[in-house]
Amino acid sequence: LVDESMPKQRSHRQIPEGYNYTEYHPMEEIYKWMTQIQESNSELVTQHHLGKTIENRTIYYLQISQPSNKPKKIIWMDCGIHAREWISPAFCQWFVKEILQNYKSDAMIRRFLQNLDLYILPVLNVDGYIYSWEAERLWRKNRSPYMNGTCYGTDLNRNFNSSWGSVGVSYNCTSEIFCGSGPESEPETRAVAQFIEKKKTDILCYLTIHSYGQYILTPYGSTTTPPSNNEELMHVAQKAAAALMGKHGTSYKVGSTSSILYSNSGSSRDWAHMIGIPFSYTFELRDNGTHGFTLPSDQIQPTCEETMLAVTTIIDYVDQKYFPGGAVMLTSGTLVLLHGCLKETDLV
Amino acid sequence: MKRSKGSATHRHRALPVLLLLLSAQLPRPAVAEQPPWAPGVERALDPSSRLAVGAARVALHNYNFHAASPSGLRALGQVRKATVKSIPGVGQKCYLQFTTEDYRSRENAGSCLATVLYPKKKSPPAVNIKCINTKDQKQIQEEDNRLYQKLKRQTKPITGSNIPDSFGNIEPALEPVWALAVAGSSYMMWEKSTEKVGYFMTQVKSVKQWMRKDDSLEFDYVILLHEMPTQEMISCHMRLIWLPGHPLKVKYTCDSENHRLEDGSGMESGSAAGIIREREENF
DSSP B253-271: EE--B----TTS----BS-
The band of B122, judged by pLDDT with boundaries at 50, 70 and 90, is confident
* B contacts of A261 (beta carbons < 8 Å): 50, 229
Name the residue with higher pLDDT: A161 or A17: A161
Which helix (H) or strand (E) is B56 found in, with range? helix B50-67
Flag if A290 and B75 touch (Cβ within 8 Å): yes
Chain A's closest residue to B164, CA to CA, is A294
Question: Which positions in chain A touch B200 (Cβ < 8 Å)?
Answer: 289, 292
Give the list of residues 6+ apart from residue A195 with CB closer than 8 angstroms, or none: A50, A51
Contact B48 A253 (CB under 8 A): yes
Over chain A, what is the mean pLDDT? 91
Asked if B228's CB is within 8 angstroms of A262's CB, the reply is yes
pLDDT at A296 over 50: yes
Beta-strand relationship, B126-131 and B108-119:
antiparallel
Interface of A with B in 80-119 (CB under 8 A): none
- Residue B255 identity (one-letter amino acid): D
Residue tagged active-site, from A188, A284, A305, A306 = A284
The percentage of chain A sitting over the pLDDT mark of 90, rounded to a whole number, equals 88
Instruction: List the single range of A154-168, A228-242, B130-144 with lowest mean pLDDT.
Output: B130-144
Going from the C-alpha of A203 to that of each of A73, A160, B45, B197, B257, the distances in angstroms are: 6, 18, 35, 36, 41
CB A267 within 8 A of CB A157: yes
Alpha carbon of B172: minimum distance to chain A alpha carbons (Å): 14
| Direct distance between the N- and C-terminal alpha carbons of chain B, in angstroms, rounded to an integer | 20
Choose the closest CB to B169 out of A171, A263, A296: A296
CA-CA distance, A140 to A147, in Å (whole number)? 19
> B46 vs A260: CB contact, 8 Å cut-off?
yes
Say yes or no: B241 contacts chain A, CB-CB below 8 A.
no
* B36 band by pLDDT with thresholds 50, 70 and 90: low
Residue B14 pLDDT grade (very low, low, confident, very high; cuts 50, 70, 90): low
A188-216: average pLDDT: 98
- Angle at B129 (CA atoms; ends B124, B135), nearest 5 degrees: 130
Q: In what order do the strands lie in the sheet with B217-228?
A: B159-163, B198-210, B217-228, B233-242, B249-254, B277-279
pLDDT for residue B267 is more than 70? no
Q: Is residue B96 within 8 Å of residue B46, measured between CB atoms?
A: no
Give CA–CA dist B23/A243, Å, rounded: 30
For CA atoms B184, B186, B190, B195, give the dihedral sign: positive
Confidence of residue B256 (pLDDT cuts 50, 70, 90): confident
Of B53, B166, B262, the CB nearest to A137: B166
Helix (H) or strand (E) holding B42, with range, is strand B42-44
Does residue B38 surpass a pLDDT of 90? Answer: no
Q: Which residues are within 8 A (CB) of B81 and not within 5 positions of it... i.e. 6 or more apart?
A: B22, B47, B96, B97
CA of A214: how far to CAs of A89, A286, B80, in Å?
A: 16, 5, 16
Phi first, then psi, for residue B264 (nearest 5°) are 70, 10
Beta strands A253-256 and A45-52 are: unpaired
Residue type, B62: N
B222 closest CA partner among B204, B198, B208: B204
pLDDT digits (tens, 9 = 90+) for A79-88: 999 999 999 9
Facing residue for B167 by CB, picked from A166, A175, A296: A296
pTM, 2 dp? 0.86
pLDDT greater than 50 at residue A238 = yes
How many beta-carbon contacts under 8 Å exist across A and B? Answer: 106
CB contact under 8 A, A264 and B164: no
Q: Give the integer Cα–Cα distance in Å for A301 and B11.
A: 41
Per-residue exposure over A247-282, b if at least 16 CB sit within 10 Å of its own CB, e if not:
eeebebbbbbbbbbbbbbbbbbbbbbbbbebbbbbb
State the average pLDDT over residues A277-281.
Answer: 98
Question: CB of B130 within 8 A of CB of B12?
Answer: yes
Residues A245-263 pLDDT 10s: 999 999 999 999 999 999 9
Instruction: Kindly state the average pLDDT of the residues B184-189.
Output: 98
Burial-class residue B205 by CB neighbours within 10 Å (0-12, 13-18, 19+): middle
pLDDT digits 0-9 by tens, B135-151 = 899 999 999 999 999 99
Question: Does the annotation count A136 as an active-site position?
Answer: no
Kindly provide the ipTM of the predicted complex, given to two decimals.
Answer: 0.88
Q: How high is the pLDDT of residue B275?
A: 35
CB contact under 8 A, B53 and A254: no
What average pLDDT score do residues A34-54 get?
97
- The pLDDT score that the predictor gives to residue A7 is 42
d(CA B267, CA A170): 12
Element (H, E) at B277: strand B277-279
Chain B positions touching A224 (Cβ under 8 A) are 31-33
Question: Could you give the C-alpha distances from A292 to A11, A106, A211, A265, B201, in angstroms and in order?
Answer: 27, 33, 8, 23, 8
